[in-house]
Structure 1
């Protein structure tokens, strides 16, 4: 068969050189019966169809080539062929999902995240919410311990009225926070789940250990009883004392100095208070948040850096400053390129 195969290939190449594309394709197809899983044959047939402007036939052949390459363990070849297909027809969302799957298998997390996000958005826009959630879950599974992606997925499910899916994802986020001993963040998730249960049932949630714990953590009310009025006896006038000088009042530091001080001391709670004073100064607020993102990145505290980054993106969206925020996200990705949720922020907002 090897000699027959060589002669067929030689004949097909000569026909193609003469511009007889259809006849060349016929020759290549003769080889499929003997080697049906040869991705190279399908790829060549696809190239010939594309040369003849047969887009539909080219895509059909390329799909078979990509599947054959992937089945044989040649993921990089399958990626190259899938890219050919979406270049011919960018509307082939099914191919983008296949491409994302192969990227994920290869450990190309950033590429997989970009493609999954494109697919999830497409399904959501078309009203296929379940399909969109399924793809978002693939995105989240690229980094199972990434709470930001899980939390975003839970919020999406809740927004779309998929209460059961939202509860499942919030549960996963809560486990991550508990493992990392992120107590305040865990309590916020508990509150969100309780709100979700209320909206599902229409009734206030049954008091559980978490809500009891929250209630017990509040300081007790101190009731001060008013004492009965006492009749004062007239007292002898005290001798007049010389007037005391008023204590010196320390001038508060200007806002810019307090902002710099919070950064120098790494006092994020103080920075959050200062953000309230900056409420009417969005540009200054964004610049301040950008410095905090850099601060946490330098300290290698990536979860906190991402939380601040989310605040910056939210501010940029509300104040129409997306262009300014893009550089903050890119700076974060330069330090932490495998952070899927940061790629997601970049894809969603820019």
Structure 2
């Protein structure tokens, strides 16, 4: 039986009032009353999950989140579903199935590098739990979306051999051996063919390839595009299901979407020295592919991230290079790695010699004790090893950090901005070229909106920071960051941000009046009535 709209609104308002009063258990009971009439309301389940966390009922929160995510997927709100699954991942970091679901959703969205990273994480957890066949399923998913990933296919072959799936193991060893031959990796190709002959001593092709010089003109074309031809999202999401896994409920129109394979990888094995060598030789495309492969294995490794930042720098992607290299140089300085920090700073200053942030950082690195940090220049020096500054993590393809903006209790200085938000205003001063790749920034903006709607303000601010670096979303994203600050009761910080936006030359077009309006409202709430009246009068229409 459905609930009348007026009664539903009154019930929801009562639940909110109970939650505001700290009566979370009673609020949950009231929200559940709404489910009697609307059992498929994903937002209600999500709210129940948030409230369950406040009373430390993690199992109840997880159950509600799973229901919310499932319903969001059914309704086509994939970004909201991802936001909820990430909540579950925080509560159950060792739950392999959650990573699988995130990977499947990234396949649906066409973000194949993200999907590969999620599937790898899931496979590692299944292996740790002794569920080898499930891990093998995840590797097959990766092989479908990234058929040129020889490391994954070699691992597949080894797992198949362990599970006595000899025919499949031979097929994979042969694929990898031929790929190694095409790449000129003769010793590794020999190893792959020798593994085949240990399983099947009479295998003719493995013997021929092992005993005869490689003749590329006799080889078949590389199977990169042909393997994925004709495959759809369903072939990955539904065609490879882990035992006991959760199946995404997707419409046929989504499942029938043609699969978009990940960009091909090629060349020598992915190692840090090889990536550095490729960078030094100016082979930026291969260096970037290699370092992204390394980041799939260890997204937290600053050395890998630094190589990626230097690639951005040499490609002329100054904004991306700034974002990556500045915080790594800060981190290395804080860790006492002053020589390495200096190398990054010098490399950046060769391209951007007038950048004041890097010039100031260079002074600190060369003159201050290593533990001093950019975030607290006026505080006493913190001894090395006692406390280190937080810095963003770089994740492959659109990778996301978990704690960019601290909660209100972390104490953002009144009126001050986080360093990562402050960096947004360096772009116009540096006069760099506008970033390209607008779709990527739109995705960050949309994900930020989804996070904000879910109450994930920290994650929302992170996404809006990334979106603000795009060619069209600076004003909109900064306005949303200010809204998140206001939701965290950081009104003074929100005012400081909007004042900076209003003074920025990029604050043009239809978004300008909205900045003035939001700032005027904050002024009014803060008792600055004269300032508010002046701005309200200056708004032609909103």
* TM-score, structure 1 as length reference: 0.58
Aligned to 1:56: 59
* RMSD of aligned alpha carbons: 4.0
Residue of structure 2 in register with 1:208 after alignment: 204
What's the counterpart of residue 253 of structure 1? Answer: none
Contact conserved, 2:117 with 2:396, CA < 8 A, in 1?
A: no
1:196 and 2:196 are equivalent in the alignment:
yes
**Whole-Å Cα distance in 2 between the matches of residues 288 and 7 of structure 1?**
63
Q: Map 1:119-134 to 2 at 5 A.
A: 119-134=122-137
Distance in 1 of aligned mates of 2:286 and 2:94: 39
State the distance in 2 between where 1:177 and 1:15 align. Answer: 64
Taking the aligned partners of 2:161 and 2:310, their CA distance within structure 1 comes to 32
Q: Hey, what does 1:298 align to over in structure 2?
A: 283
Query: Distance between the aligned counterparts of 1:334 and 1:154, measured in 2?
Result: 35
Pick aligned residue for 1:72 from 67, 71, 75 = 75
- Separation in 2 of the partners of 1:101 and 1:44? 24
- Unmatched 5+ residue regions in structure 1? 219-267, 270-285, 311-321, 341-350
Structure 2 partner of 1:331:
307
What per-residue deviation string (whole Å, max 9, x for no partner) do you get for residues 111-133 of structure 1?
33333222211221222211111
For the pair 1:116 / 2:116, whether they are aligned, the reply is no
Query: Quick check: which one's helix share is greater?
Result: 1
> Aligned runs of 1:2-13 on 2, under 5 Å?
2-13=5-16
Unaligned 5+ segments in structure 2 are 215-266, 313-393, 398-542
CA distance in 1, matches of 2:167, 2:306: 34
Closer, same or farther in 2 for the Cα pair 1:49/1:167, shift >3 Å? same
Contact 1:296/1:302 (8 A) holds in 2: no
Deviation digits for residues 8-45 of structure 1, max 9, x if unmatched?
11222222233332332222122223332221010011
SS at match of 1:32: helix
The answer to whether the aligner puts 1:32 opposite 2:32 as a matched pair is no
Distance in 1 between residues matched to 2:167 and 2:17, nearest whole Å: 61
Deviation of 1:170 after TM superposition, in Å, equals 2.9
> Tell me, what secondary structure is at the counterpart of 2:36?
coil
Contact 1:190 1:210 in 2 (8 A): no
Alpha carbons 1:293, 1:332 under 8 Å: kept: no
Measure how far apart 1:67 and its partner are. Answer: 1.0
Name the CA distance, whole Å, in 1 between partners of 2:74 and 2:309.
33
Larger Rg: 1
Kept after mapping to 1: 8 A contact 2:102/2:118: yes
Other structure's SS at 1:36 match? coil
Equivalents in 1 of 2:63, 2:139: separation in Å?
27
More deviation, 152-161/50-59: 152-161
Runs of 4+ in 1 over 6 A off after TM superposition: 336-340
8 Å contact kept, 1:103–1:111: yes
Residue of 142, 154, 159 corresponding to 2:157: 154
